[in-house]
Amino acid sequence: MFARRLGPDPHLNGQRTVALAGCPDLLELDDGNFAVIGIDITEQARGKFPPTVGCGPDERVVWIPRKTLVLAKSDIPDQV
């Protein structure tokens, strides 16, 4: 199911995450799609989306730190 982590391990060199359990993470799936582990902010986000943005009943809005995405940038493919 999971092919690889994108970006460095958030606990690299003994680093601790805010919640001290689990961590934000970006993962590439073996089918080429992606999964995100982060904090569910769906309820706080409802009603505040830009025009044409929506969140279906089977979807969640997930917050990850900017650092997590920026450090994973080099692992994200350029092609669709």
What is the predicted pLDDT for the residue at 51? 96
Q: Residue holding tokens 């505040």?
A: 48
Could you list the pLDDT tens digit for every one of the 80 residues in the chain? Answer: 999 999 998 877 666 666 556 678 999 999 999 999 999 999 999 999 999 999 999 999 999 999 999 999 999 999 88
Sheet containing 34-37: give its strands across.
Answer: 2-6, 25-29, 34-37
Which pLDDT value is given to residue 17? 60
Instruction: Report pTM.
Output: 0.80
- Please report, for the chain, the start and end positions of each structural domain, with discontinuous segments joined by +: 2-75
pLDDT at 13: 67
